[in-house]
Chains A and B, each alone.
Chain A
């Protein structure tokens, strides 16, 4: 019997393992608060990128769309990390 895992099943497995890893780093408290937040967001954005490029097939899309997606993900990461780690908001 040939053992083979289709691409989308491999992608699903990676996403499930990444969820487990993010939960572990968040709950485990082995990282200090700020590092844990950065790690959690990095994993979340990586998972979102995998969904965009694999399940939503952006990997076959024109360069412009791929750049747009990556720019969005990077902007979201920067915005959230800055807002979460800034000590207080100045109104």
Chain B
């Protein structure tokens, strides 16, 4: 069964609880300050940022962007399947979404350990300070998002097939959180890997 991806609700509405959007908005505002902080430190020492950018692995950055974009695609499908009470496919796609999160974290660990091996630490320059701090905060979001997706997967597995309640918006809410993680990474990737 294909998810009803092209259905257009007559009434304009937000997916999930309105309260969740306030939380997401708060997170987006916080990251806006983080982005401005990165730009500020770059302005103080553009050379350190150019050198820092060269030391990062662009390949790992691009691959990680690909993982999160693909993870969002899995999660969109998972949430749609959940909405039409197809628990088996919902569980499968949400699990795949969590796997992309874990792959992202694995790549990040490789990149961090490689930098640490070259003794490039948060103390090395302003670039590494903001790079480590803000990618760590983002990485923490990926950890939380992956745990949430795995939790839903576990619940769907335990509760069997076709007992879904489309009125339950918690799955849609986790989906929104996951997309926000993807959205924030796009800007961090641009700031650290493409334009520093």
Q: Which residues of A contact B (CB under 8 A)?
A: 6-9, 11-12, 15-16, 19, 22-23, 26-27, 36-37, 40-41, 43-44, 47-48, 51-52, 55-58, 60-63, 65, 72, 75-76, 79-80, 83-84, 86, 88-89
A48 to B186, CA, bound (A): 7
Cβ-defined partner of A84 (8 Å) among B6, B13, B42: B42
Residues of B within 8 A of A8 (CB): 5, 73, 76-77, 80
- Given contact pairs A61-B12, A72-B28, A83-B42, enumerate 10 new A-B contacts (beta carbons under 8 Å): A12-B70, A23-B194, A26-B195, A40-B190, A51-B183, A72-B32, A79-B32, A84-B39, A84-B195, A88-B43
Residues of B within 8 A of A65 (CB): 14, 21
Residues of B within 8 A of A84 (CB): 39, 42-43, 195
- With both beta carbons as reference points, the residue of chain A lying nearest to B43 in the complex is identified as A89
A sample of 22 inter-chain contacts (CB < 8 A) reads A6-B2, A8-B77, A15-B69, A16-B66, A19-B62, A19-B66, A23-B58, A44-B186, A44-B187, A48-B183, A51-B179, A51-B183, A60-B9, A61-B13, A61-B14, A65-B21, A76-B32, A83-B36, A83-B40, A83-B43, A84-B43, A89-B40
Chain B residues 7-25 with CB under 8 Å of chain A are 8-9, 12-15, 21
A65 to B176, CA, bound (A): 15
Nearest CB in chain B: distance from A29 CB, A: 12
Q: Which residues of B contact A (CB under 8 A)?
A: 2-3, 5-6, 8-9, 12-15, 21, 28, 32, 35-36, 39-40, 42-44, 58, 62, 65-66, 69-70, 72-73, 75-77, 80, 176, 179-180, 182-183, 186-187, 189-191, 193-195
* CB atoms of A60 and B36 under 8 A apart: no
* CB atoms of B195 and A56 under 8 A apart: no
Nearest CB in chain A: distance from B39 CB, A: 4
Closest 3 CB pairs of A and B: A83-B39, A26-B194, A44-B190
Nearest CB in chain A: distance from B19 CB, A: 14
